[in-house]
């Protein structure tokens, strides 16, 4: 188990994730999203920057297939809560949605 709070741990995590990127051994890997909270996204971006220097350009170590993004997990949960409460309210009081 790697520690995502350290640079070396995050480098090992991204190297492991990059093994699942389609075309990871080629010059043009398919870019996939790697979602996490904001701090994890920043740490992953820093780890990816560390391996994207000129020394790794021709060695297929650059991990270009990973694209860190901030996942907004709470927003989706709040959205589902509002939708379900609204639908229950409409059903309880027999209000039409039109």
How far apart are alpha carbons 1 and 13 in whole angstroms? 9
Confidence of residue 59 (pLDDT cuts 50, 70, 90): low
Is the pLDDT higher at 38 or at 57? Answer: 38
Checking if the pLDDT of 97 tops 80, the result is: no
Handedness of CA 50, 52, 56, 61 (dihedral sign): positive
The answer to the question of residue 93 being in a domain is no
The 3-state DSSP class for residue 17 equals: helix
Please, which pLDDT band fits residue 96 given cuts at 50, 70 and 90?
A: low
Whether 62 maps to a domain, the answer reads yes
Query: Domain of 20?
Result: 7-72
**How far apart, in whole angstroms, are the C-alpha atoms of residue 58 and residue 44?**
22
Is 82 domain-assigned?
A: no
Q: In this structure, is residue 26 part of a structural domain?
A: yes
Residue 42 falls inside a structural domain: yes
Residue 18 lies in a domain: yes
Whole-structure pTM value: 0.63
Q: Which two tokens stand for residue 60?
A: 């297929």
Given the structure tokens 């080629």, which residue do they identify?
A: 26
Domain for residue 81, yes or no? no
Instruction: Assess if residue 84 is contained within a domain.
Output: no
Domains of the chain: total: 1
């Amino acid at each position: 188990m790697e520690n995502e709070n350290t640079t070396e741990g995050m480098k090992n995590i991204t190297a492991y994730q990059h093994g699942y990127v389609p075309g990871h051994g080629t010059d043009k890997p398919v870019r996939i999203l790697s979602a996490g909270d904001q701090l994890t996204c920043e740490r992953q971006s820093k780890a990816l920057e560390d391996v994207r220097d000129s020394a790794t350009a021709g060695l297929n170590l650059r991990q270009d297939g990973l694209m860190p993004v901030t996942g907004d997990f709470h927003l989706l949960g709040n959205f589902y809560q509002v939708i379900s409460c609204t639908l229950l309210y409409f059903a309880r009081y027999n209000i039409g949605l039109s």
